[in-house]
Structure 1
Amino acid sequence: MRSYFFSSLAGAIALAAQPVLADETQLEQVTITASRVEIPRAESGVSVSVLTAVDIQQLGYSTLLDVIKTLPGISISNTGGLGKVSNVYVRGEASSRTLVLLDGVNMADAANTQVTTQFQHILAGDVERIEVLRGPQGMMYGAGAGGVINIITKRGNKPLQLELSAEGGRYDTERTQIAARGQQGGWDYKLDLNQLDSDGFNARESDTSGERDGYENQTGSASLGYSFSENFSIDGRVWRTEADTGFDNCYLGWDIVNDCLDSYQQTSYQLGANLTAAGVNHRLSLSNQELERASYSAGTHSFSMEGSIAELNYIGTRALAGGSITWGADMDQQEYASAGSMQDVDILGIYSEWRSDIADNVFYSVGYRHDRLEDRDHNSWRISAAVPQLIGDNQQLKYRASASTGFRAPSPYEISTNLSGGVDPVGPETSRGYELGVEYRYADLLQLELVAFQQSVTDAIVYVSGIGTGWGAYVQDDGESDSDGIELSLAGSLGESGRWYANGTWLDSTDSEGEQRLNVAERVYNLGASYTLLANTLTLSGNWRHAADRASPALVFGGPAERLDSYNRFDLNAVYDFSERVSFNLRGENLLDEDYREVAGFYTTGAAVYAGVKFNLN
């Protein structure tokens, strides 16, 4: 794959020079995630994908996992349906190397062996916007090699809005949501309650009893803010999820049973203040996220884990005559506790980025970050450039390039496994990445984006059995693991009533021994469309997904990786606006009833239909 990295860009430029078209609204879009402040996407030199509330509503999915799988550069793995262990791989990098923010709060599970986000428990009903920033992002966020997934929830921005929705369908699945949002005077507020219950299906092939592994999720969130003036405001928010998941293959003593339950509770809160003074914008926030997990085998408690992440963040930005500068600092404390064992990790980081332009058509940024991890120091940097050019009426051609580094600090659990037994202390992983891209946009018809990228991870933290105390420990791997590939995205209009999109990812992702990374599809395609009929009262939306060239963990300990067949999945969603206050939806998932696996040995949903109703009581 390395051999065609730069040659592919030449082909992209030639393709972009052809008369392809784009949505002119994209010319005005901004991105928040790329530099932690709003900048026009036309001036950004990095890869960012955006999904709005309209996109999410048209897709119709109930979970975040299903929503983001429609984006380029994304692979997913799920072990048996709703609520089961799931991972998101950005450009081939595992969830432990991708930072997930929910309204600015780090959602990683510090109680896990490697600090990953429990994607399977994040519902989509309250999400306003999703931005996915691909590639190493250590400079701004101190994150890993995969990138950043920034989730922004809905807020009150008009007088009181009340929403009530309910949905039901196959596998005895029921979903309800109640939301109140509003803005009055200087206040804005929100209360959102979501519940998702499903009896599910048998999760694991090895369980021949056919019993169903269900799922229950109750998620609530609230926010309150007050603006004293245009220059000063405060805000606070809280978010909590309680979930119970049935699964197969757990231990009761020395016996393996299939009556297993995972109980999960996660609570996060954030307090923040915004101040503009003397031309400088300041943001200060304090957040805390706590998580508790417990596992039961045939009703008997097996083990419990607790984790927490506390963060203090400051960010400042100022426009100057020659450009603008952003700077900030963050303090991060992660803690883990289980069975009397406790471990914590403290990280202090400072960073700054300068953004400017040359002759109003070459936009560039240069950023640097320094982190202090216990007794170790780490430096990260990023440089990027974007050259947008108007080449005709409503036409824009943009070339862009970026180079960046990142790192991932070891989790508290990873550190705790090698504190004895003669194993070297584990340190941070480091990463670097490069990308070149070209974009072409024209009017309101079609847009094209093609990106070629290379990225690598050094000193990867891996688990080795039989070392340390004898059970095993996390150590740092020799060599590099690599992900090289191409991402192609297209989108356009279907007259005045619809839009279509398509994206493809071609990836070569290998570990330090040159073997394909597990659970990562090396070829993924999405094709979707949305169209409005019947005087704008009926909206039909569909997504087709193809994944191929996949390897999965061995079904037998010590055995070779399992090769998985490619699959096609087609989903369709219909929304009918009966009136301004009442709408109905009908969604079909895996309508072709494809029998496929995302992880070897675990079932996936069959053809399923869900119907619902929504009331807007404004």
Structure 2
Amino acid sequence: MTSIDQSGAAPATVSQFIELKASPIPALSKFEDKAEGFVWSVRFSLPSFRWLSFRVLIALTLPQSVFFFEIGEPTVNKILYATAITAAIAPAAAATSAEPLEQLSVTASRTEIPKAELGVSVSVLTRVDIERLGYASLLDVIRTLPGVSVSNNGGPGKVSAVYLRGESQFRTLVLLDGVNIADPANTQVAAQFQHIRARDIERVEVLRGPQGMMYGAGAGGVINIITRRANEPLEIEAAIEAGRHDTRQGSVRVAGKGERLHYAVDLAQHDSAGFNSRESDTDGERDGYYNQSASARLNFVASDALNLEAQLRHQDAETEFDSCYSGFLTSNDCLDLFTQQSVRLAAQYRQGQTDQEFAASRQEIDRDSLSEGVSSFAVNGRIDELNYLGHTTLAAGEFSWGAEFEQQGYRGSASALALDSIGVFGEWRGEFAGALFYTVGVRRDQLENEDHSTWRATLGYPMSLPDGGEFKLRGSVGTGFRAPSPFEVAYNLAEGVAPLGPERSRGIEVGAEYRRAQGLRAELVLFQQRVTDTIVYDYSLGTSGWGAYGQDDGESESSGAELSLAGALGAQLEWNFSGTWLDATDSSGEQRLLVPQRVFNLGLAHDLLDGRLTLGGNWQRVEDRISPPSNWGAASERLDDYSKLDLNARYRWSEALLLSLRGENVLNTDYREVAGYNTTGAALYAGFEVRL
């Protein structure tokens, strides 16, 4: 396992990244009178990110759970940040120490695996987490996670981008109930995240880092979104919310769970007059947003061995925006029309220790941009997929394998193109002495212009501690890729430019985790990843004189650290913290645009009145972001750092009625995420939910 040093030095081994030592507790004088035992010291560092190293001290047998995180330059032992979690958490941890540790099943290997055994970075948000955050948009939900940042061009429904570890969202695979929801009609194939509502989401899993082996994804990773399932024979829900910017949204849900038949139907609508999205629009007119969606899901348990599933989803959105072209003049009378529909059929079959799934899906998007009521850019895109996945348990371990066929199609006013790809993969999961868990996997993809191979290896070492907690060391190394989009290929064909190959990425990460029931959870990750053969627009290419797409000879890099802490103070108060320190540069060594280098989130949720009232909030701090210029030809602009506070309250009036109140940017912070675009000021929303 190696990492390439950008400076050209010899490859670094894993031993240069992690140093693990044990020493008696008396070595730390402040703990001498507390207990006998050991203190584990774990130091992480990255050769090309020398200012950042971590040392984690963990006292194994103290009556209190003690952590110490030290960040600094090891040669001068300069401490930049430190935190200790001690007596305040001890009462909550002690109260729950007898409970078994929660085992989260995730899809890092496309099959359920206890999170304690995973060797990769996975963040999981459950329905409870989403409700406590109180956000209406999934964009706002996931921006609270470590390694995630978001940019938005002027309010709800406007163009938005999600960055995982500094990588653009076209290097990230987004799945909604198993369907790839990326927009193949876009310049680069990426999901239109701004149109996804949070209300009908049951679970979100974010796999960070290159995931080419298992998913055929790029350097960012995978965002897996799972919608709600029925838990009762009949569930009927209706919700309404209204607030600032003349915003109104409502939803209706009918679902049921029988002995063999499960179903769910969801309808939702969002309507907002919005606010003036563009700073250059001096008229001050508002740019509204309208979104209407419908989905249906049917699950039939044909037998103990066979399960059948079908799902449909349809969404229409209209987004007003500024600064489009009407002929050779700019106009602020601009409208984007967006329609997305998808269908998926799947069958799961189980025989003995072997599970198999066959699935077919189609996702289609129609977009049109109107300038002063006249269509200026109408496109259509679709993604057709056939998927097969198998998993079996053997005496020596577990083996997963699969095959995928995908066709991405693009059709515009002047060109149309469809690109096919076929991928096969396999992963072995084993263990040593029931203590050390590992996976090794490979994948081979046949792309339009060339074949490509990816691989991944992970290692997880969980340890049960005498205090009832669990500590884990883990690491992973792997590769990913991004195939050129249909638009990029079609554009180059029209310009007579040579075919493009895939972007290639590779990454390595090491991490440490601690968990003690619901009392305390801590995770620290260091990562480094690089992208080569980046697809870029080159004005020197092509026959028209306007340029075409080429591939960069250099190497872009993203290195950093992610820290996650969560716990409970007593039975009523829960807290969580996430911090991301990032150094993301392009192939010329310049900081990547729109990617903040530091993002912090602090969340609280307090239950009162025997759990009937929940007060919650999230504070976010964003630092060191550079934006593209707001005016063509100008220099890039460094945006001001900012902090933003969002609050929410939920009161259960009865079993059937829930009242909600939430405030966005309650301190009315004046901030920008993209130069030239406005953001919302303080906004208040109130609503209610009825469940029958």
Counterpart residue number, 2:614? 539
Do the aligned partners of 1:16 and 1:448 also contact (CA within 8 Å) in 2?
no
State the aligned residue count: 617
> What SS does the corresponding residue of 1:363 show, helix, strand or coil?
strand
Give how far 1:279 is off: 2.4
What corresponds to 1:562 in structure 2? Answer: 637
Question: Whole-Å Cα distance in 1 between the matches of residues 589 and 634 of structure 2?
Answer: 17
Which residue of 112, 128, 140 maps to 1:54? 128
Structure 1 distance, partners of 2:471, 2:377, is 56
Match of 2:82 in 1: none
Q: What is the CA–CA distance in structure 2 between the aligned matches of 1:527 and 1:544, rounded to whole Å? A: 5
% identical equivalent positions = 54
Structure 1 CA distance for aligned equivalents of residues 455 and 676 of structure 2? 41
**Residues in 2 aligned to 1:400 and 1:573: alpha-carbon distance in whole angstroms:** 36
Cα distance between partner residues in 1 of 2:263 and 2:231: 9
The answer for the alignment partner of 1:14 in structure 2 is: 56
Q: Which residue of 2 aligns with 1:234?
A: 308
Cα distance between partner residues in 1 of 2:332 and 2:431: 61
Q: Aligned partners of 2:17, 2:322: CA distance in 1, in Å?
A: 43
Structure 2: runs of 5+ lacking an equivalent = 8-15, 20-42, 46-52, 60-64, 68-88
Structure 1 residues 2 and 398: CA distance shift in structure 2, 3 A: farther
Match of 2:154 in 1: 80
Does the CA-based 8 Å contact 1:125-1:194 persist in structure 2?
Answer: no
- Contact 2:101 2:516 survives alignment (8 Å): no
CA distance in 1, matches of 2:228, 2:649: 22
1:524 corresponds in structure 2 to: 599
TM superposition shift of 1:15: 3.3
Tell me by how many angstroms 1:557 deviates: 2.4
Which residue type is aligned with residue 298 of structure 2? L
Structure showing greater relative contact order (alpha-carbon pairs closer than 8 Å, 6 or more residues apart): 1
Segment of structure 1 superposing worse, 194-203 or 154-163: 154-163
Q: How big is the shift at 1:185?
A: 2.5
Cα distance in 2 for residues equivalent to 1:32 and 1:270: 21
Give matches, 1:192-203, under 5 Å.
192-203=266-277
Cα offset, 1:32, TM superposition? 2.7
Q: Distance in 1 between matches of 2:513 and 2:183?
A: 36
TM-score w.r.t. the length of structure 2 is 0.87
Cα offset for 1:443? 3.4
Matched residues in 2 for 1:26 and 1:545: separation?
32
Shift of residue 35, structure 1, vs aligned partner: 0.4
CA–CA distance in structure 1, aligned partners of residues 105 and 487 of structure 2: 34
Change (3 A) 1:121 1:253: same
Instruction: Map Cα deviations across residues 210-242 of structure 1 (whole Å, 9 max, x no partner).
Output: 000000000111001100122111000011110
TM-score (norm 1): 0.97
More strand by share: 1
Counterpart Cα distance in 2 of 1:465 and 1:250: 22
- Residue in 2 that maps onto 1:191: 265
One of 527, 544, 567 as aligned partner of 1:453: 527
- Pick from 577, 589, 592: which aligns with 2:667? 592
Secondary structure at the aligned position of 1:415 is classed as helix
Query: What are the ranges of 5 or more consecutive residues in structure 1 without an aligned counterpart?
Result: none
User: Could you tell me whether the CA contact under 8 Å between 2:449 and 2:500 is conserved in 1?
Assistant: no
Aligned to 1:176, which of 228, 245, 250? 250
Matched position secondary structure for 2:538:
strand
Equivalent residues in 2 for 1:216-615 (5 A)?
A: 216-465=290-539, 467-468=541-542, 469-615=544-690
1:415-441 Cα distance to aligned partner (Å, 9 max, x none)? 111114452211100000000000112
**Distance in 2 between the 1:54 and 1:431 partners?**
35
Matched to 2:670, the amino acid is D
8 Å CA contact 1:27, 1:42 repeated in 2: no
Check whether the contact 1:381–1:405 (CA below 8 A) recurs between aligned residues.
Answer: yes
For 2:315 and 2:233, the matched residues in 1 are separated by: 27
Amino acid corresponding to residue 555 of structure 1 in structure 2: S
Superposed CA offset, 1:83-142 (max 9, x none):
000000000000100000000000100000000110001111110000000000000000
Matches within 5 A, 1:125-204: 125-204=199-278
- Aligned residues of 1:549 and 1:564 also touching (Cα < 8 A): yes
CA distance in 1 between counterparts of 2:587 and 2:58 reads 35
Deviations 1:552-589 (A, max 9, x none): 01223233211000111100110000000001000000
How far apart in 1 are the matches of 2:248 and 2:575? Answer: 30
Deviation at 1:300, TM superposition (A): 1.4
Q: Pick which of 136-145 and 470-479 moved more.
A: 470-479
State the alpha-carbon separation in 2 of the partners of residues 605 and 184 from structure 1: 44
**CA contact under 8 A between 1:78 and 1:84: conserved in structure 2?**
yes
RMSD (Å) for aligned C-alpha atoms: 1.7
> How far did residue 261 of structure 1 move?
0.1
